[in-house]
Amino acid sequence: MSIGDGGGDERIPRSLSPLARLRAARNNKSSYWAAGWAVAGAAVWAGLAVLARMGIARIGVIELVFLFAPLVIVPLGMELGRVRGASLAPVGRWLEQWAQVLQPLGAVLAALAMLLPPGKWAGVAASGWAVVCTFMGASGIAELGKVLADRSVRPTRVAEIAAAVARIDLGVGGAWLVASRLGMRPMGIQEPVGLLTAVHFHFAGFATAKIASATARHTTGDGRWLGRVVLLVVGMPFLVAAGFVISPILKMVAGVTFSASVAGLAGFVWKSKVDRRARGFLRAAAGAVFVGVLLAGAYAVADFAGSEALPIPRMASTHGILNGFGFCLLGLLGWLVEGERGDSARGTL
């Protein structure tokens, strides 16, 4: 089932066994839930953008870019984890299911946190979204521990690591959101860097790692090279964030390396053998990456050199849009569209 399609249980073949019909109906319900809330979130986000443009809502570009994550990107990423991911252990599955149930309320509270001035009540509202992120992060930690403890050689190992780290990224991003809205300055980091860190872990972390995981699961050739690229993609966001605290050189090197690894991932995304409908989304996502990567790499070097050629507000309105709306949104949609065939097939087993 593709995103936005109508229909329901009547689309499930009656020739299936009762157990297979129940499984397929459950898959349909989860897909409709994710698609419905992502569409509703996009409508809310568009409304906020219009109000901000009119000067009614006091929301800046960075705040709008961030809100696109809880309102649209995260529900799509959660559904991609179900469609393209492996079966989770009971604890991980329970945590992720509750995160998906709470996501709409958490997203509304995240929007409220942005409308309120930084302080106690903004932090309380942001905590609602942080609960969702914490559930996802705990699920990721449990799954990562399980994957690393299992030493067996299997082609999906790197994809499983990437999917687990994606959920951990969301947990980190939620914590940074709360700190930002409370007006805290952890480790002396000033705004808007605190909020940008939350943006970073939602998009460069969660969404990009989800896309990397789906790409690794789908691609059969060049497995060794793709595996190395995926591990760089999921590891570098943490080093980029650490560079803001530890060393400008680390920040620059990690930023350039991350940009290069995402460009490499985009190459694998571009040449993925997928359904015609998915190909359009994925190739558009890969195309957006190459422009965004050039900007990100240029920003890392300019920031290290102390140049103001690419200030943070300009990066938010260019690289942020290309990454969030180009690569992350289109990449998630592409793998969801491609994943519908595998999802349907699993319902027939």
Q: Where are the alpha helices (DSSP H) in 244-275?
A: 248-270
Count H helices and E strands in the chain, helices first.
13, 0
Structure-derived torsion over alpha carbons of residues 30, 173, 223, 295, reported in degrees to the nearest 10? 120
Write the pLDDT tens digit of every residue in 41-88. Answer: 999 999 999 998 888 888 888 899 999 999 999 999 998 887 765 556
Write the pLDDT tens digit of every residue in 170-197. Answer: 999 999 999 999 998 877 777 788 898 9
Beta carbons within 8 Å of 167's beta carbon, 6+ residues apart: 81, 96, 136, 137, 139, 140, 143, 206
pLDDT higher than 70, residue 222 = no
Q: Which has more pLDDT, 317 or 281? A: 281
**Are 188 and 55 spatial neighbours (Cβ–Cβ below 8 Å)?**
no
- Domain boundaries defined on the chain: 16-347
Average pLDDT over residues 218-229: 77
How much is the pLDDT for 283?
Answer: 92
Q: Is the dihedral of CA 33, 131, 140, 242 positive or negative?
A: positive
Write the pLDDT tens digit of every residue in 240-297. Answer: 888 877 877 887 788 788 888 988 999 999 888 888 889 999 999 988 877 666 666 5
Of 120-134, 276-290, 300-314, 316-330, which gets the smallest average pLDDT?
A: 300-314
